[in-house]
Amino acid sequence: MIPNGCLMFEDESFLDSTVAKMNALRKSGQFCDVRLQVCGHELMAHRAVLACCSPYLFEVFNSEAEHRGGVSLVQFDDLNPKAVEILLSYAYTAQLKADGDLVQDVFSAAKKLKMERVKQICGDYLLSKMDCQSAIAYRSFASSMGDGHLLSNIDAYIQEHLLEIAEKDNFLKLPRLKLEVMLEENLNLPSNGKLYSKVINWVQHSLWETGEPLEKLMDEVQMLYYSADHRLHSGDAAEELLGACVPEDDHAQFVQIKPPRESIQRQASTNFSCSLSSPIGQLSKHEWKCIASEKTSNGTYVCLAVLKGMLCVISLHERCSPQSSPTTTPCLQKSRSLESRGDEPCETPLAPMHYARSGLGTAKLDGRLIAAGGYNREECLRTVESYDPMKDCWTFIAPMQTPRARFQMAVLMGQLYVMGGSNGHSDELSCGETYDPRANEWTRVPELRTNRCNAGVCSLHNRLFVVGGSDPCGQKGLKNCDSFDPLSRAWTKCASLNIRRHQAAVCELDGFVYVIGGAELWNCLNSVERYNPENNTWTLVAPMNVARRGAGVAVHEGKLFVVGGFDGSHALRCVEVYDPARNDWRMLGSMTTARSNAGVAVLNRVVCVVGGFDGNNFLNTMEIYNPESNEWSPSVETLSE
């Protein structure tokens, strides 16, 4: 077209063709005048293209001495070469293509190169993929990047899904500040926002007074007192009030904040106000923030917060008065009350555990049901409770040396054995311990070859078997199987599983070890394998009807009873039984309560299930299976029938 006598022509294919040719020149190293050295890898490119796309590189090139046709060298020692290659391709083609596991590295590289549009696209992608399992990891990444927009969106998600996130491993492994708060009579704690503002002020003042690191505060449960002037106090006031009501069998240890250092005490302000030049002002330069908080049950609170720049959990339990029952414990209690209707007899509910527990170890020992460790919304536990069916009561026995959850327990040669698991603050554990009921004490056993969480444990032929579990990153299932000889105190490697799995149910039946269900990554399994120690082989047998992880298992009348668990979406009530003679599974009556990661054992010739998580609450209740009626009941009468 020639308007006004001027030639005008627009070649729509020219730009695409030129871009493709320039990118081909870059990949072949032709006419390149920039060398990017990224962690030992060399990438070639053209100054003009990179200067147009990256304000950071524009500044680098612009600050160089007069360029005389040589090749510029730019080094990066903290970026992923694959991520930088993705950004180079984007600079030439305007197309951003990155595998999901590289997006965070691309984000980091884009931040360094000041490519804001790419940063935004990567951030939006991460937000679209975020779920309750990944939220904590994504928040840590966003914090390390200092990206306020990404942080605010992640924090909004956490605020909406805190209770679901609180069940995940990443949350349970965060550092934890545990608080016991005594209320002055007729007082109530303030709303969550005001409450944690007061907690943060108390933490700042405590660090200022003692001069100790934040980690020191987290070593033990801290005693606080909420006074009529709506302030939190530590020290003698809390000690006097709490000392009257701490239960004798509660193995939690309470500590008092050290007296203020003399030089600092003279400066202490009773209202915590300060200038930026004061010690507290210096502390305040770090990030202090309550991200999300929930009241999880009567008197129990959980909060995800940033204290002095550290992402951590604050667990808080209130005690209403010094005259409270001596059986009060800082756990999520969930009791079931059964009322008689009409002429029906009133049923007595089974006594609940003192502590709500999920991911606990259970076993029958000397006619009693032992429940050890586990976790609730507050912490991983080391306490151990023993249930006496004759008295229908729970009592504490010696606590384990290490807090642990997500483990299983077995009886071997009259002693309890626990191995691996997680303590909620670090990577999976390799340590184990054994309980001698005669001495009422736990002692260490030789460590596993690898750190392992969510592994199955059982005894067979006077040996302890540890099967499957999570790798040290907590995501990938293991095929490992190891056996322990208590006489030689040595571990032996056994044949590997056919399928990687963690959170599987494991038990012994008729001279075989069975591993049931579990998960590979987070995909629930219904497959079942059986180990023959005679020829050291694993063989697949009939699969379950329902895929599940975190189920409990017990042997009763020559059959395997698999109870509850999690199907990937919901905690389960359903129960099924395996008959080895027929090699098949059939469904039984469902429990009264959904339970994942509960404990199962046979007591008084009946199957008992205790604790677990129902999808909303951590449980301390127990229920029993009646084979005659094919029903589950939480009543004492069922146990005595």
List the Cα angle 536/542/545 in 5-degree steps. Answer: 135
Domain covering 361-640, topology: Neuraminidase (2.120.10)
pLDDT of 481 over the 80 cut: yes
Per-residue pLDDT band for 280 (boundaries 50, 70, 90) equals: very low
Sequence-separated (6 or more) residues with CB below 8 Å from residue 582? none
Residue type at 501 in one-letter notation: R
Quote the longest CA-to-CA distance of the chain.
Answer: 108
Token pair in block for residue 295: 């009241």
Domain ranges of the chain: 15-129, 174-266+276-319, 361-640
Give strand pairing partners of 540.
529
Bridging pattern class, strands 310-319 and 176-183: parallel
pLDDT of residue 50: 86
Which has the higher per-residue pLDDT, 560 or 282?
560
Count CA within 13 A, CB hemisphere, residue 323: 3
- What angle do helix axes 14-28 and 81-93 make, rounded to 10 degrees? 150
pLDDT tens column, 371-428: 999 998 767 899 999 999 999 999 999 999 999 999 999 999 999 999 999 887 655 7
What φ, ψ does residue 263 adopt, rounded to 5°? -65, -30
Q: What percent of the chain has pLDDT over 70?
A: 81
pLDDT of 104 over the 60 cut: yes
pLDDT of 294 over the 70 cut: yes
Token pair in block for residue 144: 């390390």
pLDDT of 156 over the 80 cut: yes
> SS3 of 401, please?
coil
pLDDT of residue 3: 60
pLDDT of 127 over the 90 cut: yes
Cβ(377)–Cβ(358) below 8 Å = no
CA distance 348 to 352: 12
CA distance 152 to 436: 51
Token pair in block for residue 12: 């729509």
* Domains 15-129 and 361-640 belong to one CATH topology: no
CATH of domain 15-129: 3.30.710.10
Helix/strand/coil (H/E/C) assignment for every residue in 549-615: ECCEEEEECCEEEEECCECCCCECCCEEEEECCCCEEEEECCCCCCCECCEEEEECCEEEEECCECC
pLDDT tens column, 18-47: 777 777 887 777 888 888 888 888 888 888
Sequence-separated (6 or more) residues with CB below 8 Å from residue 124? none
Report DSSP letters for 409-424, one per residue: EEEETTEEEEE--B-S
pLDDT of residue 325: 33
Per-residue pLDDT band for 249 (boundaries 50, 70, 90) equals: very low
How many other CB atoms sit within 10 Å of the CB of residue 368?
A: 19
List the Cα angle 332/369/557 in 5-degree steps. Answer: 125
Lowest mean pLDDT among 218-222, 513-517, 536-540, 613-617: 218-222
